[in-house]
Amino acid sequence: MSSRRQRYLPEIVAALLVGVAGAISIPLFFGVGDVTWAFAVVWGIATLASVALVPAVRRSGLDWRRELRLLFVISLVVGAVSLITGVGNNATDEPYTMGGYLGVLLSGRDPYTTSVTISYSAHTLNLWSEHVSAPFHYVYLPLLLFFQIPGTGAPGYKAMCLACWVGIVYLVRRDEFAALCLVSPVVALVAANGFTDLPVLLLITLALRGGQGATGKAAEYATYAMKQFANAFWFVYYVFRRDLARAGLVLVLTVVFAAPFLLWHPTGIWCEAVTFSLSPGCGGAMNSSRSWSDLYSHWNYYLWILFVYALFPTEVHRLARRAWAGLLRLRTRPEVPA
């Protein structure tokens, strides 16, 4: 590779992350006709591939902080253009429903039992569009409802999520690996789509990288009442640190935050947000259509995998080596004669 091409390797990788995902998802959609494969899976893999920015920057031979600033500008432009034009946008209904759910709560009704009708046009790079109109109940934990800009609708929610991405990159700016993974233009696109994960991930990052004082703890505790992935993250985090008391506190505070709604309409939050309509008696819940495809058909799920890896690469590598060693031991274990 020439020195000039090597110099621009990070920018080339950033362009490829967006360009290749777009080039694959468009013909795949028109061939298969399934938005799951055309958008979520392909762009999810592109999200995970954001780790390629780390070796690209290192191979460029330039100061990673300088490259981080340049990549940040590129990604911010990608996210802003997506938000303004709608290209690569509208991959989720969440920006269109959060205001409605908050309105339901402020009017004295339970958002876990009162339906809100989703009405928006889902896009795949604006070459395909399908109007979506369907009633749903709120499915996350209650505090997440209050993380929005009242009166701004879906554009405001998307802008807030993009601002949350800016905050995440700022908080990890001194960590080469985490910063380069999360500054990816694909991550900026996730944010510009308005996924509700972004405010939660910002608070988790603040708790982990924003200092160990009262602000960090308040941010951590707030995430216990926002989105279920955060509760699972903190529980596993403390279990791996062998701090079972703190792991138990995560569960206790989760119940405390959910308690007002459990007392209001027990089956509402229980079916919609705690057991995901999988427990007995929840079969008729509005959001009861769950399947194994949910594990790969949500673009934002891949962001959580990238986020955990970006912040804890050493720990992930250690666990992977242990898992691999365990598999090798199982394969080489001598058979016991009958």
Domain spans in the chain, listed from the N-terminal domain onward? 63-326
The percent of residues in the chain predicted with pLDDT above 70, rounded, is 88
Helix segments in 41-184, DSSP class H: 42-48, 53-60, 64-85, 94-106, 153-171, 176-182
**Most confidently modeled of 21-25, 256-260, 295-299?**
256-260
pLDDT band at 88 (very low <50, low <70, confident <90, very high): confident
pLDDT at 269 over 50: yes
What is the maximum alpha-carbon separation in the chain?
A: 72
DSSP letters, 124-158, are: ETTTEEEEEEEEE---S-GGGGGSS-TT-HHHHHH
pLDDT at 128 over 70: no
Q: Looking at residue 106, what is its pLDDT?
A: 94
The per-residue pLDDT for range 270-283, each reduced to its tens digit, is: 888 887 766 666 76
Residue 29 near residue 39, CB atoms below 8 Å: yes
Mean pLDDT of 150-161: 94
Q: Looking at residue 337, what is its pLDDT?
A: 57
Query: What span, in angstroms and rounded, lies between the C-alpha atoms of 150 and 31?
Result: 40
Structure-block tokens of residue 151: 């009166």
Buried b (16+ CB within 10 A) or exposed e, 116-151: bebebebbbbeebeeeeeeebbbbbbbbbbebbeee
| Other CB atoms within 10 Å distance of the CB of residue 322 | 10
Query: What span, in angstroms and rounded, lies between the C-alpha atoms of 190 and 302?
Result: 10
H/E segment holding residue 214: helix 214-223
pLDDT at 3 over 70: no
Query: What span, in angstroms and rounded, lies between the C-alpha atoms of 62 and 64?
Result: 6
Q: Looking at residue 291, what is its pLDDT?
A: 63
The per-residue pLDDT for range 24-71, each reduced to its tens digit, is: 887 877 776 666 666 788 999 999 999 999 999 999 988 999 999 999
pLDDT at 214 over 60: yes
Residue 287: DSSP 8-state: T
283 exposed, middle or buried (CB, 10 Å; 0-12, 13-18, 19+)? exposed
The per-residue pLDDT for range 285-298, each reduced to its tens digit, is: 555 455 666 777 88
Query: What span, in angstroms and rounded, lies between the C-alpha atoms of 333 and 305?
Result: 32
H/E segment holding residue 120: strand 116-124
Buried b (16+ CB within 10 A) or exposed e, 191-219: bbbbbbbbbbbbbbbbbbbbeeeeebeeb
Q: What is the mean pLDDT of the chain?
A: 88
